[in-house]
Structure 1
Amino acid sequence: MAAEVPTIILLDKMQKMLLVLAEERFIFPGLRSRVGIAVNELKQILSFLELEIPSGTKLKAPFLPTVHCADYITESFLLTTLQRRRKGVTKFIKTPLMAFPPWTQLLFSLEMKKVVKSFRAISCEFTKTLDLANKTQDLSIQVSALEKKLIHLEPDVLVGREDLEKELVARLIHDNEQRLRVISLVSKEPLGKTALARKVYDRLDIRQHFQCRVWLRVPRDLEDHDRLLIIIKQILPRDLKNVELMDDTQLTYMLYNILMELKFLIVLDDVCSVDDWTMLVRSFPDTVNGSRVILTTRDINIASEVDPWSCPLELSPLTNEQSWELFLKKVRRQENSSDLNSFKDEILRICHGLPPSIVLLGGLLITLESSEWSKVTRSDPAHFGEDLSPLLHIVGLSYHRLPSVLKPCFLYLALFPKGYEIPTRRLLLLWLAEGFVQMSPKAGNVPEDVAKKYLEELIRRNVIEIARWKSDGSPKTCRLPFFLYDVFLPKAEEIGFVHIHHCGSDCTYADSSESSIWRFADQFGVKSISKSHIQHLCSYVSFEGQKRDISNREIGMVLNRIISKGGFILLKVLDLEGVYKPLLPENLGKLQNLRYLGLRWTCLHSCPVSIGDLPCLETLDMKYTNITTLPSSIWMAKNLRHLYMNGVSIKNPSKGSSTSLQTLMGLHIGSNESTIHFLDRFTSLRKLGLTFQSKSMKCISVISRLGNLQSLRLRSRDPFGQPSDLELKPLKEHSTLSNLYLLGVIKDDIHLLPQKLEILTLSLSGLKEDPMSVLGKLPRLNTLRLFAGSYVGSKMTCPALQHFPVLRVLKLWSLEELKECTVEQGAMPQLVELEIRGCKKLEKTDGLEHLPALKELILTNMTEDFVADVRRRLGRDKLISRTLSTSHN
């Protein structure tokens, strides 16, 4: 399992190599042929690897170093050629021969000769283990699933735990015991402990009952200091000065004092030892106010020791009826379906009542035709190895049936820490930078769209779970399920796909050519990588928290070591998101193969000027930093597709520059700049975010000509930083714009808004007339946010008669003059979430009880009388009251 992933990656590179060689007239004799033979041998070997032949396991070990070696020489050859072309070596040569220097071709050809010999030897050995007539499989059938339309994604369902959920809720909020109590959820097997805890943790009645909720996963390799920091930052999310510099005793004392004033619920997920509890419990005060701790563990002895007076809740496998109900929900089919019933007994037999098995099997079968189900449900577990547990059998089936293009993308999730919420934005761009996204020859395909399809397919197969959703129903963050992480992280490390540095550990690889690191992840503290380990390094990702004066120095040392090693620098990904002020070397531009540079949340005040010398750069993410300027040379990065900033000024590009920009967020245009004149060059733009002064308002006319634009954020300010005028008329006829954020005074009629908007946010708009009758006629609007100063009137009415037909989310923030709000019966029939925040003069609301789909009414920083009135009219099942406000960036 997983051994074929490096082969898939190499095969894709060598196929691209063939296309490059086909464009050249003068090639060293036999080079094309050798590459072609290597490609064919790789395809042959891949067919064996994907069959997961048990007897072929011993053959995989010597094969992987050959794959890694071939990957390195292929990548180096392509990089060499690319560098020569950029430096203009071929500029004055009439023939294209010099694009591939003769000695480079010769050396590469000799290396490929060795590679082909090794591949053939491995292929012959595999052939001996399996009848050739049975070895092939139609990979095109696997990939065809990606072309199917994704069924609307739904949150995970919890089946068969209703009684346990009621019991857990009762102990949390209905128990008369006021002293601090620990409620343990226990099962040796993965039966849904975390899912049950999460379901209860997110319930409205729980969120109302406890003033403070904290979720902490307790991995073995997470230091006590970091655990305390995670808890404190969840309670007080704002920046805490010097909190990282406190020792364990100071943090414990600080957390104890914070919790003394609160009724709290703390979830400790996946506790592996009593020592973990002993360390944390010192910071949990027993103030006799009904505070609770939920603890999930596999060990019943731990549950008994942490709270001898509380009876643990033990989870059991689902019954056949419960298992079948969960399965039907996962395949989204009706119980009376005859094709399903014929497989019912087989499905129940192989799932053994384990929720993860049912979820995975459902995700697998939903991608197949009913005629293929028997091949899966009647498969032999020995096909994947000996003595497999029921769950591992299903895991093997699910992974084995993944399309080849998805396997590297799936395995890449093991690079992130266990339980880590991965922003989908970050994940998709990393896949692209790594080269995992394979483009089909179909015209009009955009890599970002293909990457999104990959993610949707993995979600549909239930091998990725969604952690958080955006207001429009799309996934915001995702993660690898715990039980899959435990299986596939060792596999990914075993094949050399990733190397994870855990807390307190150093690199343990021996200094040899076979021990090179390809993808290195710092999960809990930066450690230096020796020179012998960076020869093949293509990705460096850090998950280090913002520990001042530690991470920055170590990161700088690592980068200097990479750059100073000489030769070819293969590094493609440098992701330092969240690392506090990493020291970036001034010669950063020497990373000629770098495609992803992640600096989000690094607190940097500047970046090296040489950042504009990164020719392969596709993504530059410096959002939420203190950087205010970038060199104009950044426009010369012709492969740049995504540029994330906030309030950054860049000088105009030269006339000869070109760009493939898809995303340009956070650009600042001053009053005396002519930047607006080149905006219309970016014809591929899909997302644009600008801050401009009123004198540059004509940029809106330029924006209206960007025919692919889908998301637009405009901030109009005067020289003193105050909101200035905005014009809507140029945007009226825009046919692709679906997400619009406007900060500034709207001078013309809001009837001029684009009609295909799905998400609209207004801030400081200064609207004097009630906008709801106009906005309610936007036929596709599903999210509306009216922030501070957007409406300055005192009355607001949401009329009926087909207004807001598909609106799901409405937020009214800091409308200081608003006194009355009325929702007429029949308006907003699909509204699920309503938040009213900081509207201090709002005294009267009518019609909220007529909203049939409303699930959450969130009141933040509202007067006590207003909250009490709404609570009395609606009841507690639709009300959450909060007192702390947060930023809406």
Structure 2
Amino acid sequence: MSEKELSDTLLQFSMEHKFLIVLDDVQTVDVSLKLVRLLADAVNGSRVILTTQNLKVAFQVDPQSSPLEIWPLIDQDLDVLIVGREDSVKELVSRLINHNDESLRVISVVGEEAIGKTALARNVYNRLDIRQQFPWRAWLHVSRDLEYRDLLLIILKQLPRIVLKDLEIMSEKELSDMLFKFLMEHRFLMVLDDVQTVDVWLKLVGPLADAVNGSRVILTTRDLNVAIQVDPWSSPLRLSSLIDEKSWSLFLTKVGRQEYNTELNDVKVDILKVCHGLPLAIVLLGGVLSAIEFKNWSRTIDLALAQQNKNQSPLSNMVDFSYNQLPSVLKPCFLYLSLFPKAYEIPIRRLLQLWLAEGFFRFLPNEIVPEDMARICFEELVCRNMIEIARWKSDGSPKMCRMPSFLYDDFMLKAKDIGFLHVHHCKSACTFTDSPEFYVPRLADQFGVESSTSKGHIRQLSSYVSFNCQKRDASNSGIGMFLKTMINRSGYVLFKVLDLEGVYKPLLPAKLSKLQNLRYIGLRWTGLDSCPASIGDLPCLETLDLKYTNIITLPISIWKAKKLRHLYINEMSIQKPPKESSPNLQILTELYIGANSPMINGLKMFTNVKKLGLTCHSKSAEQTAKCISQIANLQSLRLKSRDPFGQPVVLVLEPMKGHQSLLNLYLFGVINDSIDNLPRNLRTLTLSASELKDDPMPVLGKLLPQLNVLRLFARSYIGSEMSCLARHFPKLRVMKMWMLENLEEWTVEEGAMPNLVELEIRGCKKLKNSHGLEKLASLKELILTKMPEDFVADVRRKLGRDILLTNKWEFSTLDDPFLKLDQKRPDAPSTTK
């Protein structure tokens, strides 16, 4: 048959029959779009499931359908920048793990700017064998704007057994003494990244120098003299440009063409000529080319060669070219990252919502959800190596990101020069002009507030972000006076973003609602006790983040904010539900619903919520479950049921059994009905205080074939035996078992959990026997915490292979509300990573 005859036959069949077609791993829109358009007239309930790595493909195929999003499971150990540096990795590892030298040693990694020093150090820092050798590790990006006390705080907050709330009020000497004492007792690995002068080392050498327990320091620097002065007895590890063969290997890895492709021969010479053997230039060019069709590669490479400036370094030329090749919508998104301190780990949640509040995606077609567009832009910047992932969630999705350090210096200055933003550092003087026309659209305070926020001549400010987490009255009053100034000056009507995440108890004016264009209010980790009652009178408000504060109730005026999309609260109550539907609300977490609260029925007003967090009373549990089952687009649910004293009470699952879109489920409370009632498409499941009497694993292993992450927290199972059956949990990657106090025996049959990578067992004190762990071929990391030493020794003997196995005796209880019922944490964590 001809193509037309085949098409007509399929069209006729689709009109007469109800069908389901799966189009798997669609990479381009061409074929699938033709097919979907061919079938478009079918009105008999037929469906097409399309799986793709590219959100843009999904939107083009069916703009009216919101895609079911799953972050790709990325191999977290893969670091593309290490390709071609394998010998350097091997040498650095061997010098770190030198059992014949127990004295403190500093290994300096030296090379020109952006040669790959940080990437090499980070790859080694995260290796399993290094984590096994050095249980206590800390990473410090050395900034000239940080005082010695700041450096001590950053290091201490990465070490265990440190009480965060006590650190902020300690003197510099007390912090130094605490660090010294800790480092004398434990073998550690510390990375001092981007050291430009020897001063930092001279300050830290006191707490470090007397360690004779095999501890190590990795220091990255551009200056060979710094390396020699720091440790004259240790020869630096020098990095140079890659030879052509290794450069080409790195490029092929970056663009996903590891197998040699003869079509690339025509452009190979020019690619190597553009990149000059610089790993970062290679991945930037690879990122540019990955975003376009192969047929256009030659033209793009020619353009890169033509635009090279002989007065700049090859890397600077590539950096400029990569930025210039960004689509216009991506340029402000990328520049925005320079508001954050250098090497700062940015929560992706925070970044994407700030982009939205800034209005970077204002002119979107009606069928595209703004959050989806932000996600597309983020993914493309990651693919172009303009953003790097700093941390991952258990399910393999990215959690934290940062602007690569080698890009930060250039683009922070560029953003400032073009008037995109201004950044105030604690050591640098603000050089605002006195001209009344001076315009600073975005202002960031990095570790200082008073001098910049008191500048009354800054006009037309649209965004203010502060990173000052010091507990002192000056930061509170400085913020308060700054906001009052904005309210009293008509020049601040454009103010859209107020991000004070981590600022300790800032003073908010009662008349905050006068800032009518405010779209984003970030007060997470501020420890505030209340917020202005008029906060709901902000007509443009899209994001309100009150997580980890002491606020316990919100005024019902919050529902007047009709554009509200993201509401983060901390088990707060709201007395009355909205009077009408809130179709814009995408995220609501975490709302408290009492026994007779009218908010129970108010849940049906949140028709488009994708992420929901609720704490309910046992009397409202069944009605709450029914309402949840009616939220069709819900993808993530955190549901807790407990009494006024915080003790778990009964949860109801049955109404949620048929929920199709739910992927992530966290349950805290007693489960009396069958776990057969869990939704079938779950990727992540967490159970806490469920008090299951029967072994849940046979049911879960068969019921949830798509499960990636399983967490069984305290008292989730109260039986003594547990078994994982063959062929169950085919996609499980992470499993955590915490404080299953009655568990005595665990059996893993051969063929169960074939893809399990990480296993963590905490506080299962009666667990004596584990059978079959050695059969988990994919297991890379086994973390044992507060487990009997006999059990640890037995597991170590059975595994007998290269695996990270630790037995940590101290751990945080904050991840499980049953382990620490009081979840209020008013003390802000460090905002510097």
- Alignment TM class, shorter chain as reference: 0.7 to 0.9
Kindly tell me: are residues 298 and 754 of structure 1, through their superposed partners in 2, closer, same or farther at Cα, counting changes over 3 Å?
same
Cα separation, partners in 2 of 1:577 and 1:152, compared to 1, 3 Å? same
Q: Distance in 2 between matches of 1:633 and 1:356?
A: 51
Task: State the shift of 1:229 in Å.
Answer: 0.7
SS class of match (1:606): coil
SS across alignment from 2:219 = strand
TM-score normalized with structure 2 length: 0.87
Matched, 1:811 2:736: yes
Change (3 A) 1:558 1:237: farther
8 Å contact from structure 1 (residues 612, 635) kept in 2: yes
Residue number in structure 2 paired with 1:888: 815
Does the 8 A contact of 1:691 with 1:714 survive in 2? yes
Looking at structure 2, the residues matched to 654 and 352 of structure 1 have their Cα atoms a distance apart, in angstroms, of 61
Q: CA deviation at 1:381?
A: 4.8
Aligned equivalent of 1:105: none
CA deviations over 1:373-418 (Å, ceiling 9, x no partner):
1122223656364522211221122111111111110111111111
8 Å CA contact 2:513, 2:535 repeated in 1: yes
Contact 2:603–2:627, Cα closer than 8 Å, also in 1: yes
Query: Who is 2:747 aligned against?
Result: 822
* Cα distance change, pair 341–334 in 1 and its aligned pair in 2 (3 A): farther
Identity across the alignment (%) = 61
How many Å apart are 1:659 and its aligned residue? 5.1
Partner residue of 1:488? 411
Which amino acid is the alignment partner of residue 297 of structure 1?
A: T
User: For residues 311 and 693 of structure 1, what CA distance do their matches in structure 2 show?
Assistant: 64
Q: TM-score, normalised by structure 1?
A: 0.81
- Measure, in 1, the Cα distance between the counterparts of 2:436 and 2:73: 47
Contact 2:73 2:395 in 1 (8 A): no
Within a 5 Å distance, the mapping from 1:653-802 to structure 2 comes to 653=577, 655=579, 658=582, 660-697=584-621, 698-777=623-702, 778-800=704-726, 802=727
| Higher share of residues assigned helix | 1
Q: 1:384 to 1:550 in 2, by over 3 A?
A: farther
2:324 to 400, 415, 432: 400
How far apart are 1:883 and its partner, in Å?
A: 2.0
Question: What CA deviation, in whole Å up to 9, does each residue of 1:83-130 have, x standing for no partner?
Answer: xxxxxxxxxxxxxxxxxxxxxxxxxxxxxxxxxxxxxxxxxxxxxxxx
The one of 368, 387, 390 equivalent to 1:467 is 390
Give CA-to-partner distance per residue, 1:153-182, whole Å, 9 cap, x none: 554321122222122111112241111111
- What amino acid sits opposite 2:566 in the alignment? H
Q: Is the 8 A contact 2:796 2:805 kept in 1?
A: no
2:36 corresponds in structure 1 to none
The answer (yes or no) to whether the contact 2:79–2:123 under 8 Å persists in 1 is no
Aligned counterpart in structure 1 of residue 431 of structure 2, from 500, 508, 511: 508
1:624 paired with 2:548, answer: yes
Q: 1:873 aligns with which of 790, 793, 798?
A: 798
1:289 offset after TM fit, Å? 1.1
User: Which letter does structure 2 place at the counterpart of 1:784?
Assistant: L
Instruction: Check 1:784–1:451 CA distance in 2 against 1; reply closer, same or farther (3 A cut).
Output: same
Q: How far did residue 287 of structure 1 move?
A: 3.1
Aligned equivalents of 2:580 and 2:60: distance in 1? 38
In structure 2, how many angstroms separate the alpha carbons of the residues matched to 1:786 and 1:145? 35
Match of 1:195 in 2: 119
Which SS does the other structure have where 1:504 is aligned? coil
3-state SS of paired residue (2:513)? helix
* Separation of aligned partners in 1, 2:730 and 2:142: 44
Cα 1:593–1:369 change in 2 (3 A) is: same
Query: 1:674: Cα distance to partner?
Result: 1.6
In structure 2, the gaps of 5 or more residues are 1-55, 62-68, 817-833
1:284 is matched by which residue type in structure 2? Answer: L
Residue 490 of structure 2: SS of its match in structure 1? coil
Q: Which moved more, 1:217-226 or 1:143-152?
A: 143-152
- Name 2:108's counterpart in structure 1: 184
Query: Given the superposition, is the C-alpha separation of residues 494 and 163 from structure 1 closer, same or farther in structure 2, using an over 3 Å criterion?
Result: same
In structure 2, the CA distance between the partners of 1:238 and 1:557, relative to structure 1 (3 Å rule), is farther
Greater Rg by CA = 1
Tell me how far apart the structure 2 counterparts of residues 633 and 745 of structure 1 sit (CA, whole Å). Answer: 34
Q: Write out aligned runs for 1:161-560 (5 A).
A: 161-236=85-160, 239-379=163-303, 381=305, 383=307, 385-441=309-365, 443=367, 445-528=368-451, 529-560=453-484
Could you tell me how far 1:440 is from its partner in structure 2? 3.5
Q: Which residue in the other structure is 2:16 paired with?
A: none
The SS at the match of 1:501 is strand
- Cα gap change, 1:337/1:797 in structure 2, threshold over 3 Å: closer, same or farther? same
Equivalent-residue separation in structure 1 for 2:60 and 2:500 (angstroms): 34
In structure 2, distance between residues paired with 1:477 and 1:863: 34
In the alignment, the residues of structure 2 paired with residue 183 and residue 870 of structure 1 have an alpha-carbon distance, to the nearest angstrom, of: 34
1:160-206, CA deviations, whole angstroms, 9 ceiling, x for partnerless residues? 22222122111112241111111100002311111111111111121
What amino acid does structure 2 have at the position aligned with 1:464?
I
Contact 1:207–1:880 (CA<8 Å) still a contact in 2?
Answer: no
Cα 1:554–1:236 change in 2 (3 A) is farther
Tell me, yes or no, if the aligned pair for 2:578 and 2:602 is still in contact at 8 Å: no
Shift of 1:218: 0.4
| In structure 2, distance between residues paired with 1:411 and 1:636 | 33
Secondary structure of the residue that 1:545 maps to in structure 2? coil
Give the Cα–Cα distance (whole angstroms) in 2 for the partners of residues 538 and 567 of structure 1: 10
SS at match of 2:563: coil
The 1-side partners of 2:456 and 2:470 are apart by 28
Deviation of the 1:655 alpha carbon: 2.4
Aligned residue pairs total 745
Which of 523, 533, 537 is matched with 1:609 structurally?
A: 533
Cα displacement (A) at 1:334: 3.7
Which has the larger displacement, 805-814 or 297-306?
Answer: 805-814
- CA offset at residue 292 of structure 1? 1.1
Indicate whether 1:585 and 2:505 are aligned: no
CA contact (8 A) 1:384 1:396 kept: no
Q: In structure 1, list runs of 5 or more residues that go unmatched.
A: 1-142
Q: In 1, Cα distance between the equivalents of 2:72 and 2:297?
A: 20
Question: Does the CA contact (< 8 Å) of 2:106 and 2:217 recur in 1?
Answer: yes
CA distance in structure 1 between the aligned counterparts of 2:595 and 2:815, rounded to whole angstroms: 27
The letter of the residue matching 2:187 is K
Q: Does the C-alpha gap of structure 1 residues 567 and 496 become closer, same or farther in structure 2, counting only changes over 3 Å?
A: closer
Partner amino acid, structure 2, of 1:484: L
Report the RMSD for the aligned CA atoms in angstroms.
1.9
2:575–2:598 CA contact under 8 A, matched in 1 = no
